[in-house]
Amino acid sequence: MKPLSNVAVRDIETVIHPYTNLATHRETGPLVVERGEGIHVWDSDGNQYIEGLSGLWCTALGYGNKELIEVATKQLEKLSYTHLFGGKSHDPAIELSEKLKELAPCEASKVLFTCSGSEANDTQVKLIWYYNNARGKPEKKKIISRILGYHGVTVASGSLTGLPPVHMDFDLPIANITHTACPHYYRFAEDGETEEEFSTRMAETLEQKIIEEGPDTVAAFIAEPIMGAGGVIVPPEGYFPKIQAVLDKYDIYMIADEVICGFGRTGNMWGSETFGIKPNSISVAKAITSAYIPLGGVTVPEDMYQAMLDESRKIGTFGHGYTYTGHPVGAAVANKVLEIYERDDIVGHVKTLVPIFESRLAKIGEHPLVGEARGRGMIGAFEMVADKATKRRFDPKAMVGAKVNVICQNHGVILRNLTDAIGICPPLVMTADQLNDMFDKIELAIDEAEAWIAKEDLRAA
């Protein structure tokens, strides 16, 4: 191992890195990214990488977009900051609210802005509780999420998340948040069970959960159209319509977490459109600004807004919001991003890339190291297994996913390991040639990983 650079040592002694083994990091140091252009970023040693995860599922328009830089600069010059507290407002926030109401895959009366997806889902929890207090149903407070779902890391949104490391030793989840089964057909289907049958069982499991909790106490269900950080898990055939029927039966509010899937990622503007979800509300962030500026938000249906009005009359104010709610620079950038999505027909462009993405992903699925390759639109993952026939996992101590992720990085593609799955979520502005180049590099990395696994005899049971 080469000696750590001065910048690496400075990083180790000053920075806490999210979702990082902090002990290992002291030995390996960081990958210091210095600049980006288009679909590429460069590290401090001058090495070029395809940003194959769009940062963290977010830089849909790539890096260095001159229009976004210009609109941010102009907004900084005109009005660098103001807030929305106490009835104050500004044009960028108003315009963005209008656009989101028009685009949303559900009825939206108003939009409440946040700074991130975590804050958006945290806000969803608070609004559900507030809403049911306002309408005289103080017992209707429980929110059901899913095992392996990801909805953020604040106390409330981290409780919604169904990943053990987000809960362990943080004393999560909090009260009134619980989890139902993960709809990963490859991992959890019974022998001989079709996708439709599996989806039926998932809906029955949810209904049983609701009955056990008490239907009058269950307020909402939250789900990502495609589960991102949990492994890029695509819903099985018929899953969401069957889930929706259960929610409708028990008057349960449906929240679609569109933070990763929204704005064209699945081949439609919304993941809800792709999978037949009929949400009451959506959470957005990430690609709404192509990650150039932090910004998120939730849509508010009319009946919830009326309840919020009633509470304001009773309490005297709506006691929620953030210093940077609807930040003018973030809103201005988001408006330009939405303009580019429409003007350049980004959704149409994604549709032209989907056959390449999905066919190349399917080819990876044929590799002896890969148990399942899964995805939809321009998001996918390949899961590595010790035994393809039995789906047996590698020993967690071998850290296969982390090692393969580094091998991919060494081949010039930045991805993300999700245990022993590797997530792929490239910028939506890729060309067909760039997409093929990325997959060529990934295939070389998988071949190298296979050789490493054989050499280390990691398939031993």
The answer on 363 and 253 residing in a single domain is no
Q: Nearest 10 degrees: CA dihedral of 74, 77, 82, 88?
A: -70
* CATH number for the domain harbouring residue 239: 3.40.640.10
The answer on 387 and 255 residing in a single domain is no
Last residue of a domain, one of 312, 343, 374: 343
Please state whether beta strands 142-146 and 296-300 pair in parallel, antiparallel, or not at all (unpaired): unpaired
Rounded Cα distance between 86 and 12, Å, is 42
Q: Is residue 51 part of a domain?
A: yes
The answer on 440 and 320 residing in a single domain is no
Q: Is residue 313 part of a domain?
A: yes
The answer on 214 and 72 residing in a single domain is yes
Rounded Cα distance between 29 and 9, Å, is 7
Q: Is residue 3 part of a domain?
A: no
Q: Is residue 166 part of a domain?
A: yes
The answer on 301 and 392 residing in a single domain is no
The answer on 108 and 222 residing in a single domain is yes
Rounded Cα distance between 151 and 121, Å, is 6
How many domains are there within the chain? 2
Query: Cβ neighbours of residue 110 under 8 Å, at least 6 residues apart?
Result: 97, 101, 299, 300, 305
The answer on 92 and 52 residing in a single domain is no
State pLDDT tens for residues 36-87. 999 999 999 999 999 999 999 999 999 999 999 999 999 999 999 999 999 9
Closest C-alpha among 262, 229, 282, 291 to residue 58: 291
Please report, in angstroms and rounded to a whole number, the separation of the first and last CA atoms in the chain: 30
For residue 101, give its domain range.
68-343
DSSP string over 375-430: EETTEEEEEE-SBTTTTBPPPGGG-HHHHHHHHHHHTTEE-EEETTEEEE---TT-
Last residue of a domain, one of 306, 325, 343: 343
Rounded Cα distance between 442 and 415, Å, is 9
Enter the tokens of residue 138.
């103080």
Ranges of the chain with pLDDT below 50: none
What is residue 104's predicted lDDT score, i.e. its pLDDT? Answer: 98
